[in-house]
Amino acid sequence: MLIIGHREVRDILKGKEPEILDLVADAYRLHDEGRTSLPHSVFLRFPQDDRNRIIGLPAHIGGAEPAAGMKWIASFPGNVALGRERASASIVLNSMTDGSPEAFIEASLISAKRTGASAALAAGLLTTEAEPRGISLIGLGPINLEVLRFTKARLPELIEIALYDLDAERAVHFAREARKIVPGASVTYCGTPQEALAAHRLVSLATTAGTPHLDLTAARPGTTVLHVSLRDLTVDAILGARNVVDDGDHVCRERTSLHLAEQATGGRDFIEAPIGALLRDPARYAPDPGRVTVYSPFGLGVLDLALARWVKDQAEQWVLGVQIDDFLPATLHRPEPVTASV
């Protein structure tokens, strides 16, 4: 068993935005081709606690280097007020030969970076502006920082950033980090989410909201909204927009905004396409400068596996992590052969 901790994962992923974008795009294509296995995520909730949860994402991804495993990610929003990260995560990878666990990886960065890469790929496909110069970020935690990092890698002309968060101090800290990612950036602080929605035609929502609270009346025609946190937008906002998802079956669950829209309409006709299909055939999607487009990614476990597999390969190449040789039983007990008596 190879144990790969946070620092090793951080060092492996640092500065690898192009590689990660390619890995995530390939995973989406494989998923759209039916070359993955992706059961519904398991949500572990607690009695008298509707805020905290732990989610299990089992998955298998095929292709040239198949992988199987599971991400186990906890979301405790109250951590933020205590100065701790909201989410913590780990991934176990299983051998495709005999099913035994072969790697255990600290996955908070993997989870954040695959989310940022997913949003950036959608931004590159869906924006009505060929080279957007500005982005609005609503909810200023580590996820939107990664969205900014990967969107800048995907859309290098970005230089203007509008920020909104309920916590003004967090916004100031975020701005400092944002300027490291986008040197020379023009940063604007917004007083309301509506002001941020109106500031640019590319918007990322990554809040801890549990119920819809935001419509899109302030968004200009042609705006692309990266609805990463899935529960910010009202049903009317979803139904009034063009909707692209990562997987309709997965995103229409657990009272996401799209799940509520499905319940309100009795179907999913409001979903136009999955991102995997658009990555396989970009000509299938024509941006509409007169309408708002919303991208809602549930966050597929195959993305985590694609990055975890790559991290494991890099760790083995550079001899990183801790190898535990006696994690598994040395041999399996096999019964002695029975010889018939004469």
In this predicted structure, the answer to whether residue 123 has a pLDDT above a threshold of 70 is yes
Q: 69 or 75: which carries more pLDDT confidence?
A: 69
Average of per-residue pLDDT across 272-294: 95
pLDDT for res 50:
83
Say how far apart CA 286 and CA 7 lie, in whole Å: 42
Q: Given the DSSP bridges, would you call strands 101-106 and 2-4 parallel, antiparallel or unpaired? A: parallel
In this predicted structure, the answer to whether residue 342 has a pLDDT above a threshold of 50 is no
Average of per-residue pLDDT across 96-101: 94
Average of per-residue pLDDT across 117-131: 94
- As to burial, measured by CB atoms within 10 angstroms (0-12 exposed, 13-18 middle, 19+ buried), residue 278 is buried
Q: 185 or 51: which carries more pLDDT confidence?
A: 185
Q: Write out pLDDT tens, residues 207-238.
A: 989 899 999 999 999 999 999 999 999 999 99
Average of per-residue pLDDT across 33-42: 95
Average of per-residue pLDDT across 94-121: 96
In this predicted structure, the answer to whether residue 339 has a pLDDT above a threshold of 90 is no
pLDDT for res 338:
61
Q: pLDDT band at 109, cuts 50/70/90?
A: very high
CB distance 305 to 67 below 8 Å: yes
Across 124-133, 256-265, 322-331, the highest mean pLDDT is recorded for 256-265
Q: 92 or 341: which carries more pLDDT confidence?
A: 92
The vertex-232 CA angle with 74 and 166, nearest 5°, equals 80
Average of per-residue pLDDT across 252-274: 97
pLDDT for res 52:
92
Percent of the chain with pLDDT over 70: 96
Say how far apart CA 240 and CA 292 lie, in whole Å: 8
Distance of CA 192 to the CA centre of its chain: 25
In this predicted structure, the answer to whether residue 332 has a pLDDT above a threshold of 60 is no
